[in-house]
Amino acid sequence: MTKARGMGWRAGYLLAAFALFMADQVTKAWAVRALNTGIAFGQLQGGSDFTRWLLVGLACAAVVAVLIYFFRNQRTDDRVLGACALLLAGITGNLVDRIRLGRVVDFILLHAGDYHWPTFNLADAAICTGAFLLALDLFLEGRRARQKVVVSKSA
């Protein structure tokens, strides 16, 4: 694949990440207006200013790390680029909340029987999905590498 085409794919994924980021921000704005102050906010919300800015710093570092991986990785398949786009959208969505509001707006409640998942938002879902896709990719690529070693030894 040519470098220009690879950058085109990356630009498309960045556009998708931006659209997901905007959807996250719009749904959080709706939740704050519609659910008023009684909505549940997620973990690590009651910390000090130090905790807030430490989490901002960690999120900024994570965004930089994902961007470096996104642009330096030679692969252009959906699993890797999609995972990076999901991570970028989610991390940035929660980062903006933490900078602007001092907390992350979580409003999605799910439960199965008596089990209740922690309250979350679209950004959290994007981060979890992106992390899962990267973990899956590591697993599958490791398995392919092991199979290549076995095939080359037997040949």
The C-alpha atoms of residue 129 and residue 78 are separated, in whole angstroms, by 13
Q: Do the beta carbons of residue 91 and residue 62 sit within 8 Å?
A: yes
Annotated catalytic residue within 49, 78, 97, 106:
106
The C-alpha atoms of residue 150 and residue 51 are separated, in whole angstroms, by 49
Of 105, 114, 89, the closest CA to residue 23 belongs to 89
Alpha helix stretches (DSSP H) within the chain: 3-35, 49-72, 78-101, 122-154
Query: Helix crossing, 3-35 with 49-72: angle to 10°?
Result: 150
Annotated catalytic residue within 24, 77, 97, 124:
124
The C-alpha atoms of residue 130 and residue 153 are separated, in whole angstroms, by 35
Ramachandran assignment for 113, one of left (phi > 0), alpha (psi -120 to 50 degrees), beta (any other): left
Q: Is 78 a catalytic residue?
A: no
Q: Is 137 a catalytic residue?
A: no
Q: Which residues are catalytic?
A: 106, 124
